[in-house]
Structure 1
Amino acid sequence: MVSNPVYKTHANRIKDGRGQGRGADYIPFIQANDNKVASEGWLTRTPGWHSNRIHHTLSKYEYQYLLVQDWADKVIDIREQYPLPIEETQRIAKKLNIIHANLKGQDVVQTSDFMLTVPKGENGTMEEARTFKPTNNLTKRTLELFEIERRYYQEIGIQWKVVFDVGRPINFIKNIDWLHDAKRPDVRPGMDSEMVNIIAEPIFKLLKKNDQKKC
């Protein structure tokens, strides 16, 4: 198996810390610069609000889902391109008599699009795994791989759900997309804290003046 270049790549990613860590220290298993062909040509590197790091998404739908979760107050951490232990998914696939995720006959690491950390109770937290899939991409093979993923999370007690593209709040997503970068001036060309301080006061005065006119 180690002679397969894809398997070697995946093994090296694990050794390099991919899929490990939390918050700013987390390293996605798959990154936008890994020469992966993303759906519709979408490969994005987005500064995160919760994690204070760059998020790597591989499709338009992943990017939109990231924006919504980054906006949500209840979300504590977001880990994208989250890898499942290949020994466990291989075991589950064998048990279910399902062919494991593979490339040219060699098993490869399965990933979940997102692992979210959310509050639980007064002071605790819990994990929620999410996989995004457009409905027009659903096939029998996709469902087989989903079942491996579902069984894995069921065994370790983590909630897992598939998120579909139907019913997305498009206008809400567009608004978040427009506002998202504005939270961190350091990622906007030509914008810094000094510039923000210069323009903030007159903008607030104008907004207050307009608000008073409505009263």
Structure 2
Amino acid sequence: MASFNEAKIKRYLKEGRGQLGTGKDYVPWTKIHEFSSKGRSSRIMGIKTGRIHHLHSDNQLRAFLIFEFNDRVVDIRESYPLLDVMEVIDDKENLRFDKFCSKETGEQLVICTNFVLTIRDSDGNESYVARTIKNTSELNKKITFEKLEIEHRYWEAKGVDWKIITDKQLTRQVAKNIEWVRETLLEDSEVDKELLSKILLNLLLCHLETPLKELLKNFDKSEGVNTGTGLYLFRYLIAKKEIKVNMNEKINLALKVKDLIL
């Protein structure tokens, strides 16, 4: 939440923060250098959005990585402000908005939902879902419950699916694996990724009994490329969804290809 004083709200709105823009045009309500966070904050380039995302905790980062890797998710908006919350919620009974005021000025704070996602179904239809990220340890705090209830009623009134995601649902290994492979989509490479990855894919499918580590080493030698290029392209194939592996487990390069690729 950020202080809701007249000067700041005018400046943020002038900058287009939390407005209707999507993709590279969306600007989150809070940026990491402006907001004190209990966890480690991070800035990460979005592959689908083409902009820097501002994430205020490790759990938000893991959630972002998992959302982005999901083919159904086509846009991710973080730190989405509920600017019209008082107008949208008709049933304000028992909602403690007074709890969310600045201790210094007494002014209302802006309540944000961590993520608003644009989802595309198999027919190409798009819809929004809202997701709030919380540590399980926070759920027994009264102030947390009161904020979540405001979010719940807001999104319910908007007709948008809203859910809480806890740290227990954000598998660390999945996030690590996604982070490991997605780098290949962001980095420039001295080799022709498209051409060489197709050659590697063909080798993988033709040598299912060969340990992956051995196959990648042989690939580097046969193609006359730098050591590690085969591994880089293997990561690239996973990132491009050309091959599938069990993202819930650490990727073991010593396994045979048939035991690794699903």
> Normalised by the size of structure 2, how large is the TM-score?
0.68
Q: How does 1:6-85 map to 2 (within 5 A)?
A: 7=5, 8-20=7-19, 21-34=21-34, 36-40=35-39, 42-85=40-83
Residue equivalent to 1:166: 168
d(CA) in 2 for partners of 1:202, 1:77: 27
- What secondary structure, in the 3-state scheme, does the structure 1 residue paired with 2:144 have? helix
Residue equivalent to 2:222: none
1:132 correspondence with 2:127: no
Residue equivalent to 1:103: 102
1:197 correspondence with 2:192: yes
Change in 2 beyond 3 A, CA 1:61/1:202 = closer
Deviation by residue 1:176-196 (Cα, 9 ceiling, x = unmatched): 1112222111xxxxxx34x13
- What secondary structure, in the 3-state scheme, does the structure 1 residue paired with 2:76 have? strand
Question: 2:28 touches 2:80 (CA, 8 Å); kept in 1?
Answer: yes
The range that moved more, 18-27 or 173-182, is 173-182
Question: 2:89 touches 2:154 (CA, 8 Å); kept in 1?
Answer: no
d(CA) in 1 for partners of 2:204, 2:85: 63
Return the index of the structure with the highest Cα Rg: 2
Deviation by residue 1:137-162 (Cα, 9 ceiling, x = unmatched): 22111101111111111111111111
> In the TM superposition, what is the alpha-carbon distance from 1:12 to its structure 2 partner?
1.8
Residue equivalent to 1:189: none
Question: 2:89 touches 2:153 (CA, 8 Å); kept in 1?
Answer: no
- What secondary structure, in the 3-state scheme, does the structure 1 residue paired with 2:33 have? coil
d(CA) in 2 for partners of 1:198, 1:61: 32
Change in 2 beyond 3 A, CA 1:203/1:87 = closer
- What secondary structure, in the 3-state scheme, does the structure 2 residue paired with 1:130 have? strand
Q: Please tell me the root mean square deviation across aligned C-alpha atoms, in Å.
A: 2.9
> Normalised by the size of structure 1, how large is the TM-score?
0.82
Count of residue pairs the alignment pairs up: 202
d(CA) in 1 for partners of 2:116, 2:31: 15
Question: 1:85 touches 1:109 (CA, 8 Å); kept in 2?
Answer: yes
> In the TM superposition, what is the alpha-carbon distance from 1:86 to its structure 2 partner?
4.7
Structure 1 gaps, min length 5: 186-191
d(CA) in 2 for partners of 1:209, 1:103: 59
Residue equivalent to 1:113: 114
Letter in 2 for 1:15: K
> In the TM superposition, what is the alpha-carbon distance from 1:96 to its structure 2 partner?
2.9
The range that moved more, 201-210 or 14-23, is 201-210
Question: 2:44 touches 2:52 (CA, 8 Å); kept in 1?
Answer: yes
Q: Which of 179, 182, 185 is 2:184 aligned to?
A: 182
Residue equivalent to 1:188: none
Residue equivalent to 1:143: 145
d(CA) in 1 for partners of 2:47, 2:133: 21
Deviation by residue 1:13-40 (Cα, 9 ceiling, x = unmatched): 1221001210111111111222x11122
d(CA) in 2 for partners of 1:206, 1:82: 40
Change in 2 beyond 3 A, CA 1:117/1:202 = closer
d(CA) in 1 for partners of 2:157, 2:78: 21
Deviation by residue 1:178-215 (Cα, 9 ceiling, x = unmatched): 12222111xxxxxx34x133897499559827952727
Change in 2 beyond 3 A, CA 1:137/1:78 = same
d(CA) in 2 for partners of 1:85, 1:6: 10
Change in 2 beyond 3 A, CA 1:206/1:92 = closer
Kindly report structure 1 stretches of 4+ aligned residues shifted beyond 4 Å.
Answer: 89-94, 202-207
Letter in 2 for 1:33: H
> In the TM superposition, what is the alpha-carbon distance from 1:169 to its structure 2 partner?
2.1
> In the TM superposition, what is the alpha-carbon distance from 1:63 to its structure 2 partner?
0.4
d(CA) in 1 for partners of 2:64, 2:117: 10
Change in 2 beyond 3 A, CA 1:121/1:157 = farther
